Structure 1
């Protein structure tokens, strides 16, 4: 017979308990769930995006009515619990009593209200739940002035959201700088500056004396007699554990409900979880320890041994354009030393606190991309003496050679924590990806990574990019990136219609929120400007992905693969000897024939890339661009030279096409195949562009794929001569370059614009000729062998490329 479990409070902590419990043993308990709010569990830490208008309530619901019904949970929402009778083991709500075998208290916390005159006036609200958020949204719709009392996390998120809604917002903070518990004074200054750029006024050392008004709030009076007009006042000065029910029931309560390591209260049949809990003199306000508690509670309810352990915590702020991270102990003290990096122009600040050759604290503002790595060093108490000189620059500079962000992610161990809220490590995410979770939504659904506060989303995407390689594409249904509300298509239309010919011009015209862009938009903008204005725009190597900057494919262990070009799959004994010599000289662990009829040298060290390419270039071999968003291979069969079924010289045509198209940058990788007859030995019908030779000429088809999406090409056009076939392929490539969204393969672009439109463009002789002319112009400017060009400039030293810096966008 099932035991009866009663849960008081449907917050994030208790919701996670129920998930663990039901996953482990759905038949263990008959569950009744009380909640004072008239709704179930939602992601409370995402209330800030709801307030700012970036999300809706529906977007942040964690458990909907169907979930509760499917799991047989009796929901008593909108019903406050008024008493717990421990002797009778009953819980009394406003609508009746229910008995329990086990009870879980998850009452959370209550906002602290400053005891000043006017605190109960209409228009004075707190910021804790959806009702508070909706009240702020309603107030903001009327416009006017808002005063937020409290410059901590909640206060600043409320202020930013109200400013986004159009209110005139002032933040009052009692201390000398914002978020003084998490940030030092320098980082607090940068945060204040960025908030003020968003229109939020900040007054520090401000003590509230009274809230003024008769029937509704009208103003806030400060101790220094300053009067600030206010149509809305938000109290966000702190929280306290909600312990009234536990106190009334006679449980042991100090600041919070005291629990042991199994989250049991002083009554062994009553557990507590979340912000209402006190454990070993600690209180908890961040979601990560609450989720740790939830797992322990679920295991304890099932009779399994487990114990809650207090871990190091990190703080991040969910305000667009204000990226900050704080973890550990950054107070000054004897025997401690600080390492500080400041870049005022970029608004970047880092401070590391070291004690006894270990990192004990970190504060970062403006660039928090390495925060998980630093947090891992703090948690693991890693000995850092050997990396002392380069520590401030993050994981990309450890080992003496600058690496790119993706290289740093690739080098992270499997147990490196990626999502702090949910305790998800890299290995868990990689396993989920390999099992079929190939986009952010699928990874989130399987692992919960990035499913809480969302600040690790970029890092999860980097794990996706490292694991999937070229099969990873950014989401298409969202804005181009966090820097703008515009889609790729919107931005590209602006570039063409307003003749925008530089990244700063694009960012200014499109109201970019970050002055330098980010790792998502910079490669896309670089490509769009390169394709649309080849004469006026100069390629920016800093705005390319790591593979294109390294001119090699990064592997999961941080090494690289080198692929020399073999025109049409044809090679010579001399080239093969050069490859063999290079493989031996640089101790290449794996030499593999690729599906594109080339040879791949896998496992090359980053520092060996210039030298190995110098040797290959000396043998007459150029880069195969196996790393590029551009032409990869032209696969061919032997054609009429050797095959009795061949109708045309497929090998010769493949070589001509490869020599024509190589080095061209395209929205995504481009693969071609030329089959000498309809038997299709070169697999032309699953390429981006495929040519099948027939007796009457050349059938050109497009839109194939043989990766995660398997697609057959569709016939574009048939032409009688090889010359026309080459012209059509140049034209369709240029049409793709000029019109497709960055990181869309041809089949995705074709689905948007229609095959008929593409056919009409390349069939019209005048349009085709113009496209060919523009393609050839672009090729004459940008087609180079990157390693040959680099080695010519660095012939004596073979130093790594100068653009491979930490600042390079990824």
Structure 2
């Protein structure tokens, strides 16, 4: 018989309970979910990247409205629960009562606000949820000064996010060093140093006396009478379990709602889970134990035996450029010994604390690659005496010397924990890989490993590498070039979050080592800027490869290749006549039909380029962009108009696609094809984007390749209409434009982000798809211009004279 289950709080812990229940028995409970926020479950761990601009709210949604609807969960979002009536077994909400057989309290925690004058002023914000995050983002748009009170995890993540959004940030911390509960003094010093290098002011031993202002916050006064200007004050000094509903209902509460090992409160029909819980005198603020609690609670509701056992916890900071890790007990005590490694030049510090032949604590800064291995030793209470001499160097050095780092991962037992947040062991990941989950996105979908805070992503990739062998290439995060230590991903994120809209702004704000970049980074930065700011940034031709500057492909003898566009591979007698006339007029030695269904005029002299462009323009032809990082061709077959096997108008669709997409700059070249039936004469299944027409409509594939790598497309969607093909193709192009690393073809990019994520953004999320199309059309309004028409002017001939060419090449 279906029971009525009411849940108060739609956070990560209760969300995991619902998942376990639905996986085990979808019909067991009629679930009603209350949430004071006007939304459902999202990944609160990732609020910091939302604040910094690295992610959006949509990126961190765990359970969408559609998910709740599909699973029959009744949602009462934006509605506060007034009280719990235990005698009548009802929950009283602002909009009415709901009866329950079983009740789960998952009210989380409330931020602690220090009791000082001015704490209620507008502009004083706590940092716990999306509304707080949005309030900080809105405040940061006005610029100015921010003061963050609290130098713990949340405070530093808030400070980093606000600084990345352009605010001047000061962090106030009460004790002698930052994150004093998680770090020792040495690591705290290194963290402070790196934050200050980023432009964040850090003040330790700083006690807040009052928050100043009249209509809104204007400053902060410290106990030593130091005054600080502030347009925004963020309170991040700690949290307290939210227990008011439980207290009012007469449920036993100490610091939190007291529960037993089955997560039951003092009322046998009422459970509690998450940050509102107290178990055996302990409170819980990290996600890993919350997920363990959720699993136990779901099992008990289903009549299964389970017990919550707290585990050793570790801490990592989600601030770009500040890699730190701590676990266990690293306090000084009699009978303990320290192993310390310092490399000041690299900014690396490691400290291991041993007691009785076992590792009991670890602090690492600057190099945390081996943190999961050290954490496993602490958690398991492993005897490390035999590896004492090489312990500090990590798993790769055990056994007498350096070895392949992946060998240490290969040697991990199946029960070794890889993802602490979700409690996923190596064996579960290997099982998923053997079951077909062969990329990071698939591993996340099947096991949830690396799906929460993401700090175990590298280790998950290593498990993939050792399991798949030669079939897996471990991604590497390499800098853009020697001018910077930033990766392509870092640069793209910072251009957006810091609103950098010119190359000089990038060189200055991101600390480029070379004043004006180099031949490697300038094309990439030029592309990232024009992709992000199409209406504000002007394309810099001198930051493009020579073919893109000349709008023709240079050949080995110094002449050029000219390829006019033939939409969908179609042409006319008039166009063919114009091409023949141009070939004769300019003594073109070679006329070649390309594999992309176009005609290539090879051997055109540089000084003749403007004139031959003008002649082809006069015949109605535009540049085929055979040289560009953009759309090259849309190859088609003749389709149903001529072929007896054709199912749709493949030629017409190909022409529409090419006319919509040409001219858009992309990270690399893009090739499309439309085949009129599954016989696939246009070879659509090995293109960057390929459409195969079938009786019921169209099969859209992406991420194919037919060059040095040969790869079949992956199915993006099956649709019924041409308009759906157009919409999904434009949305996919824009998603690729906005997210891919420069010079990554679509198949390489999709392999990195996972096809499931692409589908979520392009196919499943209609609002996001429309937004992508809108941004694509804005970019097209700027850049869908024929460069031949712009440059095919009489005065342009001088710019392409042999002497001018030589002078330009020398300058480059």
- TM above 0.5: yes
Give how far 1:62 is off: 0.1
How far apart are the structure 1 equivalents of 2:5 and 2:128?
27
Structure 1 regions of 5+ residues with no counterpart? Answer: 513-531, 533-685, 687-700, 711-738, 749-810
Does the 8 A contact of 1:702 with 1:746 survive in 2?
A: no
Task: Report what 2:322 is aligned to.
Answer: 322
2:453 match = 453
State the Cα deviation string for residues 263-313 of structure 1 (Å, max 9, x = none): 000001000000000000000000000000000000011111100001000
8 Å CA contact retained: 1:259, 1:266: yes
Q: For residues 553-702 of structure 1, what are the structure 2 equivalents within 5 Å? A: none
1:285-300 aligned within 5 A: 285-300=285-300
Structure 2 CA distance, aligned partners of 1:285 and 1:428?
Answer: 26
* 1:188-218 deviation line (CA, Å, top 9, x unaligned): 0000011111111100000000000000000
Using the TM superposition, give the Cα deviation of residue 409 of structure 1 relative to its aligned residue in structure 2, in angstroms.
1.7
With over 3 angstroms needed to count, the CA separation of the structure-2 counterparts of 1:705 and 1:139, relative to structure 1, is closer
For residue 484 of structure 1, the aligned residue among 473, 483, 486 is 486
Q: Name the SS for the 1:82 alignment partner.
A: strand
Preserved contact between residue 480 and residue 521 of structure 2 (Cα < 8 Å): no
Which ranges in structure 2 are unaligned for 5 or more consecutive residues? 493-502, 523-544, 546-685, 687-704, 715-741, 752-812
Supply the distance in 2 between the matched residues of 1:450 and 1:232 (Cα, whole angstroms).
33
Q: CA deviation at 1:475?
A: 7.5
* Conserved 8 A contact 1:146-1:170: yes
Q: If the length of structure 1 is used for normalisation, what is the TM-score?
A: 0.62
**1:89 correspondence with 2:82:** no
Report what 1:417 is aligned to.
417
- Report the equivalent of 2:380: 380
Per-residue deviation at 1:504?
A: 8.1
Aligned partner of 2:660 in structure 1 is: none
Deviations, residues 496-545 of structure 1 (Å, cap 9, x unaligned): xx9xxxx9879986899xxxxxxxxxxxxxxxxxxx9xxxxxxxxxxxxx
When residues 445 and 483 of structure 1 are mapped into structure 2, their CA distance, relative to the original with a 3 A threshold, is farther
CA distance in 1, matches of 2:329, 2:293: 23
> Is the CA contact (8 Å cut-off) linking 1:173 and 1:206 kept in structure 2?
yes
Change (3 A) 1:504 1:472: farther
Match of 2:761 in 1: none
Range moving further from structure 2, 124-133 or 454-463: 454-463
SS of residue in 1 equivalent to 2:288:
helix
In structure 2, the CA distance between the partners of 1:8 and 1:511, relative to structure 1 (3 Å rule), is: farther
Shift, 1:468, TM fit: 2.2
Match of 1:156 in 2: 156
User: For 1:405-444, what aligned pairs fall within 5 Å after superposition?
Assistant: 405-444=405-444
Q: For residues 751-762 of structure 1, what are the structure 2 equivalents within 5 Å?
A: none
2:117 counterpart residue number: 117
Residues 727-758 of structure 1 show CA distances to partners (whole Å, capped at 9, x for unaligned) of: xxxxxxxxxxxx9759989999xxxxxxxxxx
Residues 462 and 474 in structure 2, CA contact (< 8 A), matched pair in contact too:
no
- Give the match's secondary structure for 1:118: coil
Contact 1:489 1:741 in 2 (8 A): no
For the structure 1 residues 433 and 504, does the alpha-carbon distance in structure 2 shift closer, same or farther, using more than 3 Å as the test? farther
Which secondary structure does the structure 1 equivalent of 2:488 belong to?
coil
Alignment of 1:92-111 (within 5 A): 92-111=92-111
Is 1:214–2:214 an aligned residue pair?
yes
Measure how far apart 1:361 and its partner are: 0.4
- Distance of aligned partners of 1:467 and 1:507 in 2 relative to their CA distance in 1, 3 Å threshold: farther
Q: Find the aligned partners of 1:504 and 1:472 in 2 and give their Cα distance.
A: 34
1:566-614 CA-to-partner distances (Å, cap 9, x unmatched) read xxxxxxxxxxxxxxxxxxxxxxxxxxxxxxxxxxxxxxxxxxxxxxxxx
The equivalent residue for 2:254 is 254
User: Hey, what does 1:188 align to over in structure 2?
Assistant: 188
- In structure 2, the residue matched to 1:625 is none
Secondary structure of the structure 2 residue equivalent to 1:15: helix
Report the CA distance shift for 1:31/1:164 in structure 2 as closer, same or farther (over 3 A). Answer: same
Q: SS where residue 290 of structure 1 aligns?
A: helix
1:775-790 matches, within 5 Å, as: none
Deviation at 1:93, TM superposition (A): 0.5
Point out the more displaced range, 62-71 or 739-748. 739-748
Number of aligned positions between the proteins: 526
Instruction: Check if 1:51 corresponds to 2:57.
Output: no
- Which residue number in structure 1 is paired with residue 176 of structure 2? 176
For 2:746 and 2:314, the matched residues in 1 are separated by 34
Residue correspondence of structure 1 range 695-734 to structure 2 within 5 A: 703=707
TM-score relative to the length of structure 2:
0.61
| 1:154-553 → structure 2 map (5 Å cutoff) | 154-473=154-473, 484=486, 486=488
Mapped to 2, the partners of 1:310 and 1:362 lie a distance apart of 19
- Answer whether contact 1:8 1:81 (CA < 8 A) is retained: yes
Could you tell me whether the CA contact under 8 Å between 1:703 and 1:747 is conserved in 2? no
Q: Deviation at 1:457?
A: 1.1
**Cα distance in 1 between the residues matched to 2:490 and 2:229:** 42
Structure 1: 4+ residue segments shifted above 3 A: 473-485, 487-490, 503-512, 701-710, 739-748
**Deviation by residue 1:614-670 (Cα, 9 ceiling, x = unmatched):** xxxxxxxxxxxxxxxxxxxxxxxxxxxxxxxxxxxxxxxxxxxxxxxxxxxxxxxxx
**SS at the partner of 1:6?**
strand
Change (3 A) 1:744 1:11: closer
Equivalent residue runs for 1:784-803 within 5 Å: none
Report if aligned partners of 2:477, 2:487 keep a CA contact under 8 Å in 1. Answer: no
CA RMSD, aligned part only? 3.3
1:479/1:350 CA distance change after superposition, 3 Å: closer
Task: After TM superposition, give the deviation of residue 86 of structure 1 in Å.
Answer: 0.5
Q: Look up the match of 1:19.
A: 19
Taking a change above 3 Å as real, the CA distance of residues 507 and 315 of structure 1, as seen in their structure-2 partners, is: farther
Separation in structure 1 between the aligned mates of residue 244 and residue 475 of structure 2, nearest angstrom: 46
Q: What's 2:9 paired with?
A: 9
Distance (Å, rounded) in 2 between the aligned partners of 1:324 and 1:212: 34
Structure 1 pair 237/745, CA: closer, same or farther in 2 (3 Å)?
closer
Cα distance in 1 between the residues matched to 2:516 and 2:412 = 33
Q: Structure 1 residue 704: deviation in Å? A: 7.5
| SS in structure 2 of the partner of residue 32 of structure 1 | strand
Match of 2:618 in 1: none
